[in-house]
Structure 1
Amino acid sequence: MKKILTLIFASLISIGFTSMAQAQSTGSTKVVYHIDDAEAQGLKGLRNIRNHLDVSPQTSIVVVTHANGVDLLMEGAKDKKSSTDYAPLVGALKSRGVKFEVCEITLKNRNLKKDQFTLDADFTPSGVVRVADLQYKDGFAYIKP
């Protein structure tokens, strides 16, 4: 009897893992891109996201910015090396379903106002908490360009 129960239990566990793997493989990939330094990560990150969507257009992507990363989403922001405007790149990605979020703690710490940011930016109470929640609670993969 004990041997039968062990076999049944092992079969149920195997079925559970197989079902979970199948559910994950049929759903779209979810990714959070973490940007905390626009100068170092801005242009590279936006290009990574564009390339990501070119290869896997069904991917759900959230970009979370905090600290100096919020500069990426400020009105009139440009890449310092190439003078490339971020806004058209952000807008193009937004039209492909990418969500861009700015940390409100950073706004407070840097004395910034929401109206200093592009209309493509959304806001989150804490960038770090948002990144953690997306990973742990919502099953997002983590990328820091």
Structure 2
Amino acid sequence: MKKIILLTLLFVSSIGLNAQTKNNKEASANFQGLKIVFQLTSADTLIHQNLMNQLKNYWSVAPDTQFEVVCHSAGLNMLLKNTCVIQDDIKMYADKGVSFVACEFSMKKKNVTKDQLVAGSSTVTSGVLEIAKKQQEGWSYIKL
């Protein structure tokens, strides 16, 4: 009797897993070719953590999506070694292809050098112009 119950549970579980895998594949196909640029201007670490949660969710259903996070003004804090609370997450997503970029104008204003940025990040001359360029290239824009 125990074997029958165990086999039944295993069978039901496998059906659920197969349905979930099928749903994930269908969802992924629905999001092919997406490109999203995020604008971050907040120093609030809760917003930074929320962004990582959002990326985790997006990545789970649309792993082929291109993402770029543009940090300028107070948002630059997310990419500074001494203020960043999500350095491991940034490195992990950067390794998966997500771009995290710091505005060089904001860096200059705050006397920040490139060596003060977290691993996995890079720079652009102007955060706002980078976002405008991405939109011109067909990227969707999300303000954080």
TM-score by length of 2: 0.73
| Regions of 4+ moved over 4 Å | none
The Cα shift of 1:97 comes to 0.9
- In structure 2, the partner of 1:36 is 41
Q: Is the 8 A contact 1:76 1:87 kept in 2?
A: no
- In structure 2, the partner of 1:89 is 89
The amino acid that maps onto 1:91 is K
- In structure 1, the partner of 2:140 is 141
* Count of aligned residue pairs for this structure pair: 114
- In structure 2, the partner of 1:126 is 126
Unaligned residue ranges in structure 1 (runs of 5+): 1-24, 79-84
For residues 46-96 of structure 1, the C-alpha deviation after alignment (integer angstroms, 9 at most, x for no partner) is: 211221111110100011000011111111434xxxxxx310111111121
For residues 10-41 of structure 1, the C-alpha deviation after alignment (integer angstroms, 9 at most, x for no partner) is: xxxxxxxxxxxxxxx89510000111113152
User: Quick one: distance in 2 between partners of 1:72 and 1:134?
Assistant: 21
Give SS of 2:72's match: strand
- Percent of paired sites with the same residue: 27
Give the 5 Å matches for 1:1-145.
Answer: 28-39=33-44, 41-78=47-84, 85-136=85-136, 138-145=137-144
